[in-house]
Amino acid sequence: MPDTHEVVIIGSGPAGLTAAIYSARANLSPLVLEGEPSNTSDQPGGQLMLTTDVENYPGFADGITGPELMQAFRDQALRFGTQIETVKASRVDLTKRPFGIWVGDPQALEPTYQAQSVIVATGAESLMLGLDREIAFVGRGLSTCATCDGFFFRGREIAVVGGGDSAIEEATFLTRFASKVTIIHRRDTLRASKIMQKRAFDNPKIEFLWDTVVAKYLGNGSISGLRVQNVKTEQMSDLSLSGVFIAIGHKPNTDVFKGQLEMKDNGYLITQPGSSRTNIEGVFACGDVQDDVYRQAVTAAGSGCMAALDAERWLEAQHG
Ligand code: NAP
């Protein structure tokens, strides 16, 4: 027989673990499926596990590292009786209650767990270039979050890779700190909206490197530059830089929910405005998996709290 729980939380970033803290304190004995170790941000603790210093999370005046912050979230969730399993959901059945959640073989007849309510907090992943040593450089000159890490590049020369709204927005934001920002784009026209483009073209600190791709990260321990290639001439050259921001898009971790939970065209889950409710009663979503706008640890944590309160109230109503 599958193990049955009042609340199963899938995901263990700031959203999932905040939902766990709140639902544990409401005596719901939540089970968190925290994911499995990997070398991407789709791992226990989520995207913050690939960040060094976090200086914008309220309450830590001197900053804290991403992994330390997530360990503190985890310890706090455990302290109130959360059960955490280091497994990844391979299949869910949200068509009937109790909901079914499988780990391991998705073809197994019986789900591994059953849940009266489910909180989805599987997060999103930044798309990466897939070059050698990429993950090792994250937090060491390589970043996917200008809001988080821009401050560390005061007075430095840096690059942003990408040509969409994110790249332009990040580059524009980064000019507050950096002495020069080079946008490296693989084509000779931007995908970004015209208004964002104009903002970047008008910014004297932004330069463009068109028709160019990154061939290699340079540096020992931390980024000292990039080897880039012009895709038209195939010519290689080296750029000396202190930092590189990858802004080529994000992918929400929603594959397992396809066909069951309503999603936007870009794969992000849809929640009802002002709540964490999804299209299925008893299933709630929080954090980056349903947020393609703010994507901050603190907003994820806030929405995790909302999901726990929504689940608690919903369960209370079910039990009469
Ligand atoms: P996006 O629109 O998909 O743009 C991704 C950019 O990265 C494209 O320019 C693409 O090049 C480039 N790219 C993709 N894979 C690459 C690779 N492997 N190597 C090099 N370059 C690569 O993603 P986004 O900019 O994150 O935006 C996502 C959505 O959020 C969009 O709808 C956007 O409008 C929205 N958004 C809006 C705002 C705002 O309005 N303030 C801010 C941020 C994002 P190609 O152009 O050649 O495909």
CATH number at residue 302: 3.50.50.60
Pair (8, 156) in one structural domain? no
The predicted pLDDT at position 120 comes to 98
286 is catalytic: no
Pair (159, 215) in one structural domain? yes
Pair (69, 157) in one structural domain? no
Query: Which of 203, 230, 246 lies at the terminal end of a domain, its last residue?
Result: 246
User: 139 or 41: whose pLDDT is higher?
Assistant: 139
**Average pLDDT along the chain:** 95
* pLDDT at position 2 over 90: no
Residue pair 33/85 in contact (Cβ under 8 Å)? The answer is yes
User: What domain range is 142 assigned to?
Assistant: 134-246
Pair (98, 178) in one structural domain? no
Distance 167 CA to ligand 1 centre (A): 7
**Mean pLDDT across 61-76:** 95
Q: Give residue 42's pLDDT band: very low, low, confident or very high (50, 70, 90).
A: confident
∠35-24-291 over CA atoms, to 5°?
A: 50
Q: Which residue lies with its CA nearest to atom 32 of ligand 1?
A: 165
Pair (139, 234) in one structural domain? yes
∠227-221-70 over CA atoms, to 5°?
A: 115
Pair (241, 300) in one structural domain? no
* pLDDT at position 51 over 80: no
Nearest in space to 44 (alpha carbons), one of 14, 22, 13 = 13
Distance 223 CA to ligand 1 centre (A): 23
Query: Which of 195, 225, 246 lies at the terminal end of a domain, its last residue?
Result: 246
Q: Which residue lies with its CA nearest to atom 26 of ligand 1?
A: 249
75 is catalytic: no
Pair (241, 261) in one structural domain? no
Q: Ligand 1: which atom is nearest the Cα of residue 187?
A: 47
Q: Give residue 41's pLDDT band: very low, low, confident or very high (50, 70, 90).
A: confident
How far, in Å, are 119, 146, 219 from residue 155 at the CA level?
A: 43, 15, 19
Q: Give residue 1's pLDDT band: very low, low, confident or very high (50, 70, 90).
A: confident
Distance 182 CA to ligand 1 centre (A): 16
Number of domains composing the chain: 2
**Mean pLDDT across 296-317:** 97
Please give all residues whose beta carbon lies within 6 A of any atom in ligand 1, as ranges: 129, 161-167, 169, 186-187, 191, 213, 248-249
**Mean pLDDT across 105-126:** 96
Distance 52 CA to ligand 1 centre (A): 25
Residues in a beta bridge with 186: none
* pLDDT at position 257 over 80: yes
The predicted pLDDT at position 320 comes to 73
- 145, 286, 288, 291: which one is catalytic? 145
Query: Which of 246, 262, 291 lies at the terminal end of a domain, its last residue?
Result: 246
Q: How far is CA 124 from the centre of its chain?
A: 4
The predicted pLDDT at position 69 comes to 97
148 is catalytic: yes
Residue pair 168/200 in contact (Cβ under 8 Å)? The answer is yes
The predicted pLDDT at position 205 comes to 98
Pair (178, 203) in one structural domain? yes
Pair (98, 209) in one structural domain? no
Query: What predicted TM-score, i.e. pTM, was given to this entire model?
Result: 0.83
